[in-house]
Amino acid sequence: MEKRGISKLDLKRRNRMQILRVIRESGPISRVDVASALEITRAAVTIITNEMIEEGVLVEIGEAPVNTEKLQKGRRKILIDINVNSRFALGATVDEKEVSVGLTNLNSEILDKSSMIIDERTTSKDIINYIIKTSNEMIDNSCLTKEKVLGLGVGVVPSMWGKLKIFYKDGVLDFSNFIDKLKSGLDFDIHCGNAIGLMALANNDFRVQNGYQTNQAFICNGNQVNLAVVNKNELSSDYISYTSTIEKYIVAPDGKQYEGYPNGSVKAELSRTAMLNAFYDIYSKEKTPVLYELTEGDKSQINTDNVFMALMRGEEAVKNLVDSLIAKYAVLINNLSISHFAKKIVLHNFKLNEKQFDYVKREMIHLISEEIADRVVLSKLDGKNNFLGGCSLIIQDNFYVRGGMQ
């Protein structure tokens, strides 16, 4: 009978992967504490980590701080950490308005970045050529060898899949055609995924907080509203591909209609198009004179800044509509925080400045508990940093999952 089991190479990779996970989640840590967390011998951890230090994957950063209340005899603990400059990652994200490309180290510290505005006239060839050209330029400008580059991670938002010939095959997103075109001009590994989940990972804080990992719900606003959930530092499998299912959530029973969706759905009430249409419905020189003045009588100039300026100047119709939209988002956020045990709700692409966000939070506190409203934060990625989602993918796949092995 043929015997099957895990190979020595696979075992080595798994052990290294587990050690990297502990260090990633705990920060600078001693070998003793790594051994304790993984329930393996200190000797085994020492052998593995010493090899990783020789390779440059890990680095010793000095002795642990002294706890004066618990002085220990013998040698003090030496802390180890991931050498964030041992490898580098290229990332790209294609969304409805922009293609962003960037280069980072393992800690997602940005070394270079670039972006290109796109519209309905931009072709898939234009997008692919820009990613190829910019990626190669960044590698050359940084004087990086191929061995130092993990590869390129690319995230594409669902609304752009059709344009780039990305479709489902046997229930799974098939990026093969897109990857083949990128490989025609790039000489390194390329991984692709749903940009929503990848940006959620890029926003995630992998460090364990008070002994546990924080669940996160990531809401991406646009013509299509998308949701991704990070559960204990892992992207929930339910949201790897089908991130637009959030659009069927009901936020206003018996609310607006949208074909194929329940009445009062997120799609009908909270997509960017739906919210703009709500402002168009009240927009006039008579009903909204302040907003009319700010936009010079052109409703196409209605944006977040003009809306909040009108609100702050006492435009009652605008305030009532804004508060109504916030109330619907409060319903959505309350449901997400409870159904996914989410301790953090990240809002991405909402284009709110600090004062505007403070207003939103204050209104939410009146509608839902302060404890849940405090979970809401703005995404740390702005439009030109969306590429960090792609960087997160290639770092996860080609560094952490491989245990830092090439």
d(CA 55, CA 49): 10
d(CA 230, CA 376): 15
State the chain's mean pLDDT as an integer: 92
Position 5 scores a pLDDT of 60
Position 281 scores a pLDDT of 97
Answer yes or no: is pLDDT of 153 > 50: yes
Count of Cβ atoms closer than 10 Å to residue 329 Cβ: 23
Q: What is the pLDDT of residues 293-322, one digit of tens each?
A: 999 999 999 999 999 999 999 999 999 999
Position 197 scores a pLDDT of 95
In a 10 Å sphere around its CB, with 0-12 CB exposed, 13-18 middle and 19+ buried, how is residue 184 labelled? exposed
Q: What is the pLDDT of residues 347-387, one digit of tens each?
A: 999 999 999 999 999 999 999 999 999 999 999 997 679 99
Q: How confident is the model at residue 1 (pLDDT cuts 50, 70, 90)?
A: very low
Which residue ranges form the domains of the chain, and what is each CATH number?
A: 8-67+75-82 (1.10.10.10), 88-202+385-400 (3.30.420.40), 210-380 (3.30.420.40)
Q: How confident is the model at residue 280 (pLDDT cuts 50, 70, 90)?
A: very high
Q: How confident is the model at residue 68 (pLDDT cuts 50, 70, 90)?
A: very low
Mean pLDDT confidence for 57-62: 93
Residues counted in the chain: 406
d(CA 89, CA 206): 18
Q: What is the pLDDT of residues 98-112, one digit of tens each?
A: 999 999 999 999 999
Position 209 scores a pLDDT of 66
Mean pLDDT confidence for 269-298: 97
Position 283 scores a pLDDT of 97
Mean pLDDT confidence for 166-190: 94
301: CB partners within 8 A, 6+ apart: 294, 295
